[in-house]
Amino acid sequence: MSTPLLEVRNLKTHFISRTSRVRAVDGVDFSVERGKVLGIVGESGSGKSMTSLSIMRLVPGPQGQIVDGEILLDGKNLLKLTEREMTNIRGNQIGMIFQEPMTALNPVLKIGEQIGEVLTRHRGMNKAEAKKHAVELLKNVGFPRAEQIVNEYPHQLSGGMRQRAMIAMAMACQPTLLIADEPTTALDVTIQAQVLDLMRELKNRTGTAIILITHDLGVIAEMADDMVVMYGGQVVESGSADSVFEEPLHPYTRALLESIPVIDEERERLTAIPGTVPSAANFPEGCRFADRCSLVESSCREKMPELRELRKGHSVRCTLAV
């Protein structure tokens, strides 16, 4: 078995101020295989977005700091690189797209420039070449009028179009890894499907691995090869998407699966998980899900459960799971 494209080991990203320490990412391990899609799922505040920003080393400073761990891209530890070396990785070997394409795109620069500057930066193209190439990239993500679009501004595009443009931008240098942070959350349902189709198609065409971050298990089910469930800054369950969906081992994963609206049934049903994610500044001693867990036992609150591989390639952080 070849080495994974990306390996994240014991990643800890904390927000440290004079009075508090917020453990946003608190010892996360996972790996992404070449050409595969890893889904990271979790509620807001679970640390999944901060994990992705940590991989890019874009954790907002000065409070946000990666305090421990390793991020190995092709065996190279990104945390050991200088900032200047890191800028050569970003946009080049790792592309990233964000949740809200309206704010993620610069409102006063033309689409063509925003795509083209990645190419001038990493591929050494001049402006004219970059613009020409941007047209190609836009065509690749399904723009029929790509020649005009390069001269338009983000506000002139629809939400789906903007996200396509974002994808074109992130894919411009054919990165080996694409991080997609909630890429469809802000979009209409029909558009969501189109965008996901596009990502899948690009993955198949270019062999780019994808980290797909979402709170929508439906999206994971549709896209992911492997998945990681995050809660309270930790991985609570990981494994292949098939095995996790088939046999969710963690009570939280099960609760998440139950909360998916099932549209084809007669009545829509949404079981929200009672309670809220605990504050990352003040985690409880033992299992961080204990307060919301329907199966909680006193032992759960005493000691932090280990992540145990219960099935082949399928691990869970719960003492009760068997």
Partner 1 sequence: MASYIVRRLLGLIPTLFVITVIVFLLMHAMPGNAFMALVYNPKVKDPAALIARLEAQNGLNQPLYIQYFDWLRNVFQGNLGMSQSLNEPVSQAIGQALPNTLLLAVTAEVIILLVSIPIGVLQANRANKGFDITTSFIAVLFYSIPGFVFALILLLFFSFKWNILPSTGTVTPGVSYSGSLGDHIIHLVLPAMALALPSLAYYTRLTRGNTLQVIVADFVRTAKAKGLRTPRILFRHVLRNAIIPLVTQFGFDIGGLFGGAIILEEIFTWPGMGELSINATLSHDYPLILGSTLVFAVTVLIGNLIADILLAVSDPRIRYD
Using CB under 8 A as the binding rule, the residues of this chain from 138 to 167 that contact partner 1 are 153, 155, 166
For 18-32, the DSSP string reads SS-EEEEEEEEEEEE
When binding is defined by CB under 8 A, the residue of 10, 17, 44, 88 that contacts partner 1 is 88
- By C-beta, is 12 or 121 nearer to partner 1? 121
Going edge to edge, which strands form the sheet with 76-77? 21-32, 6-16, 64-73, 76-77
98 scored as a contact of partner 1 (CB under 8 A)? yes
Among 29, 35, 58, 260, binds partner 1 (CB under 8 A): 58
Beta-strand (E) ranges in the chain?
6-16, 21-32, 37-41, 64-73, 76-77, 94-97, 177-181, 209-214, 226-231, 234-240, 308-311, 314-316
Q: CB of residue 64 vs partner 1: minimum separation in angstroms?
A: 12
Among 169, 171, 212, 277, binds partner 1 (CB under 8 A): 169
β-strand pairing of 209-214 with 37-41: parallel
| Contact letters for partner 1, residues 105-134 (x by CB under 8 A) | xxxxx-------xx--xx------------
Task: Answer for the pair 238, 28: CB distance below 8 angstroms, yes or no.
Answer: no
Residue with tokens 């942070």: 181
Structure tokens given for 210: 């994808």
Query: What amino acid occupies position 151?
Result: N
Q: Minimum distance between the CB of residue 155 and partner 1, rounded to whole angstroms? A: 5
Segment near partner 1 (CB under 8 A); pick from 17-25, 94-102, 243-251, 301-309: 94-102
For the purposes of burial, counting CB atoms within 10 Å of the CB of 174, is it exposed (0-12), middle (13-18) or buried (19 or more)? middle
Query: What is the DSSP annotation of 219-269?
Result: HHHHH-SEEEEEETTEEEEEEEHHHHHHS--SHHHHHHHHTS--TTSSS--
Residues 6+ positions from 52 with CB-CB distance below 8 Å: 40, 96, 179, 181, 211, 213
- Residue number with CB closer to partner 1 (166 or 249): 166
- Position 168 contacts partner 1 (CB under 8 A): no
Applying CB under 8 A, among 10, 20, 103, 276 the residue interacting with partner 1 is 103
Q: Rounded to the nearest whole angstrom, what is the least distance from the CB of residue 243 to partner 1 in the complex?
A: 32
Stretch that binds partner 1, among 9-17, 82-90, 129-137, 314-322 (CB under 8 A): 82-90
Give the β-pairing of 6-16 and 177-181.
Answer: unpaired
Whose Cβ is closer to partner 1: residue 56's or residue 293's?
56
Residues of span 205-244 touching partner 1 by CB under 8 A: none
Q: How far is the CB of 75 from partner 1 (least distance, A)?
A: 20
Rg (CA), the chain: 20
Select from 23, 48, 90, 250 the one that contacts partner 1 (CB under 8 A): 90
Among 21-29, 83-91, 190-198, 251-259, the segment contacting partner 1 (CB under 8 A): 83-91
The Cα 113–Cα 124 span in angstroms is 14
Contact status: 100 vs partner 1 (CB under 8 A): yes
Q: Which residues bind partner 1 (CB under 8 A)?
A: 56, 58, 87-92, 95-96, 98, 100, 103-109, 117-118, 121-122, 153, 155, 166, 169-170
